[in-house]
Amino acid sequence: MDMFIKILFLVVFFAIMIGVGVYCRKQATDVNGFVLGNRSVGPWLTAFAFGTSYFSAVIFVGYAGQFGWRFGLASTWIGLGNAFIGSLLAWNVLGRRTRVMTQHLDSATMPDFFAKRYDSKALKIAAAIIIFIFLIPYTASLYNGLSRLFEMAFGIPYTYCVIAMALLTAVYVVLGGYMATAINDFIQGIIMIFGIIAVIAAVMNVNGGLTETIALLSKDSIKTAGGNNFNGAFTSFFGPDIFGLIGVVILTSLGTWGLPQMVQKFYAIKSEKSISTGTIVSTIFAIIVAGGCYFLGGFGRLFEDAGKDGKPIDGYDSVIPTMLENLSPILIGIVVILVLSASMSTLSSLVLTSSSVLTIDFIDPVFCSKKGLDDKKKVLWMRVFIVFFITISAVIAIIQASSPVMFISQMMGVSWGALAGAFLAPFMYGLYMKRVPKIAVWINFVLGIGISLASFICNMSGISFDNPVLEYFKSPINAGMLAMLVGIVLTPIITFIAPAKDKDRVDKIFECYSKKVTVSSKLAIEEGEEPESPKPQKSKTSPKAKNKSKSKKRK
């Protein structure tokens, strides 16, 4: 009976996802419809698409497990940073300007934006190659976290879990494109919200409630460098390692500003109202889902034993599955659907971004004639590449499962750091500053990739540093943070030293922000508008009152 309940949840979920793909197939016949949903996606769909692409099994299993173990309850700050920096601030800083300028430039992808904003076909091709290379390990990490939960809940071998998830995602993305992804993201987002609330309540109840659980966690202590025990470290306000915590907050929050699959959500926004509503909805979604995941992970030490090295005996990726394995069959079914929703929404976003970038920004300009591919052929190529990306990432996930070298958060950290480090500064400044030169974009590309790869090589080769600063930035998380911050600081300096010379061309691009639009008075007040004075109304008097007044006049 228990297994029947779990399988029933899965069958219903799979049927809905495929049904949405079939429903949306008519809107995915050209590039604009397949990649951007004809730029007509409403606020709730856009907000949930943004949130569900942000949070996946990597967050729920990998990051929540690792950073909850390292920082305790202070890891909740990571979720709050994701909400207020990665969602609220991102929508306010990038949302409107991205929508306006990308439509003005007729740009459907981030590499295409770089090509038209900075007048460089080479930047377009380079950005497409970077996305192609670094989104694959990110995609592979999604399977890892999900499949661990499937093994715990169903006893299904890891390989079969990966294949099933890959096939299902491929079906609905290939059929319905962006619109199918957005609608499924909304459904999956609702599941994630209710699922995380139910799971937190159940886990807290294991130890007698929230207060008792926190009291148990406060008894855990760690040894400081001087050998003294730091009691209550994992229930303290900023945890045992504030600098490590800051690095994670910055990478996972500010990093979304430079990730192509996240920024592309702003391309498809329908209207001004969609931006306002989407900002609020995505922020609340992030508070519940991200805040809830990291808060839950903070109690991992109560469920998993530590080894001699201070790490979980079975690795960081086992922390969350261990916390959940003794829940009721219904709750385990909810958890599986929750993580499946989170993973598939992110996976669909990643493969759609990868396939569109590879087709529009690499295959078409490099290998096709001057006329280029027509819309039907582009959509066909994108569907082929969706299958290709899903297959490659699934193979990597299966191979990586047998290797103890890298766990989930490391794989994601390298990809996230490289992409955000390369793209964040040139994309953000490209929306606001007219004088940013091409050389600044190239420098960001080189430094973003270089810093992340240097960290990756140091970790793979086991190199250690006596210098605490170098040792700190050897972590993929901290290296990604460094790559982003270097770009944010360095780009204005380069712009001041060697500003762009094509002033007339850039001025025409920025005219899109000066275009006059008509809105209702509740959204904007017309300048110099005088209030209308009410017209005096004639008093209506009854016949009796008129007769009385006449009689008074006669007297």
Q: Tens of pLDDT along 385-400? A: 888 888 887 887 777 6
For residue 524, CA distances in Å to 97, 502, 518, 521, 529 come to 18, 34, 9, 5, 12
Q: What is the pTM of this model?
A: 0.80
Instruction: Quote the pLDDT of residue 179.
Output: 81
**For 10-23, what is each residue's pLDDT tens digit?**
788 778 888 887 88
Instruction: Quote the pLDDT of residue 159.
Output: 78
Give the chain's domains with CATH numbers: 2-222+231-401 (1.20.1730.10)
**For 159-216, what is each residue's pLDDT tens digit?**
777 788 788 888 888 887 878 888 888 888 888 888 888 888 888 888 888 888 888 8
Instruction: Quote the pLDDT of residue 442.
Output: 95
**For 435-448, what is each residue's pLDDT tens digit?**
999 999 999 999 99
DSSP 162-215: HHHHHHHHHHHHHHHHHHHHHHHHHHHHHHHHHHHHHHHHHHHHHTTSHHHHHH
Residue 243 burial (CB count, 10 A):
10
Rounded CA separation 470/481 (Å): 14
Mean pLDDT of the chain: 79
The region of weakest confidence among 131-145, 259-273, 410-424 is 131-145
DSSP 475: S
Residue with the bigger pLDDT between 429 and 65: it is 429
Residue 516 burial (CB count, 10 A):
4
Rounded CA separation 253/262 (Å): 12
